[in-house]
Amino acid sequence: MKEKKVIWITGASSGIGKAVAIKFAENGWSVAVSARRENLLKELKILNTNIHPYPLDVTDIERCKTTAETIINQLGGIDICVFGTGIHDPKSEKKFNLDKIREIMEVNYFGTMNSINSIYNYFSEKKNGQISIISSVAGYRGLPAAGAYCASKAALTSYAESLNFDMKMKNVRISLISPGFIKTPMTDKNTFKMPMIKTAEFAANEIFKGLTKKSNFEIHFPKAFTYFLKFLQILPNSLYFKLLSKGMKQINY
């Protein structure tokens, strides 16, 4: 019988994933962290002994399965999964780059599907636990110079909604995490001003509260920004395109 609750986080070597790992570890959880860069995972282990590295490339279906099995066996189970692996390349998004589009979908969407696949039966049989998918407000509507990224996040958002119907019958909570602009190595690539940008630590605090103290399906932040984006969802296309076209002046095509 495990002594601590266990959370498994993918994409944990930097950005939001790293901050969430530290937040849960500081609150006494056993934290399994996965990412491709093993050296960065080991640095997290040095920061807090509650963190346990499990290197993983989420595009490898079989490796996802064996990693999940190893975590369950070594840490005594999994209570929450936070699947947050993601990539974005603003430069390539300014042109139609099919190779980059495939890569973004393979990592962001199918990488998350591989991760869910690795624990789907475990949670279904356990009839308890949480699966949390990190999407983005970029999944609400198409944004300039982010076609592949928006598409991958929209796919994750839609899938999380569908998965919620299935897993609710099995007493497994599904949650969707939709951050606005968060300062991470990925957003550092953007060359335009990002409105209401927040730190990764801010994101981690919101995610921790959303996963452990609340029961809402969607965890979105910062609220002032995300509610504005939700408003844009209901605008007629003509108004939406006109409004967003003004913002394109900030993007150097």
E strands, 35-180, where? Answer: 51-53, 80-83, 130-134, 173-179
In order, the DSSP letters of 67-101 are HHHHHHHHHS--SEEEE------HHHHTS--HHHH
Residue of 76, 81, 29 lying closest to 50 (CA atoms): 29
Which tokens is 19 given?
Answer: 């901050």
Q: What share of residues in the chain are helix, strand, coil (percent, to 5)?
A: 55, 15, 30
Which tokens is 64 given?
Answer: 């996802």
- Which position among 54, 140, 149, 159 bears the catalytic label? 149
d(CA 28, CA 6) in angstroms, rounded, equals: 10
149 carries an active-site annotation? yes
Which tokens is 163 given?
Answer: 């998965």
Residue 8: C-alpha distances to residues 11, 52, 78, 203 (Å): 10, 9, 7, 17
d(CA 234, CA 76) in angstroms, rounded, equals: 45
Cis peptide before 55 (omega within 30 of 0): no
Residue of 152, 139, 239, 127 lying closest to 179 (CA atoms): 139
Amino acid in position 160: A
Tell me which residues are annotated as active site: 149
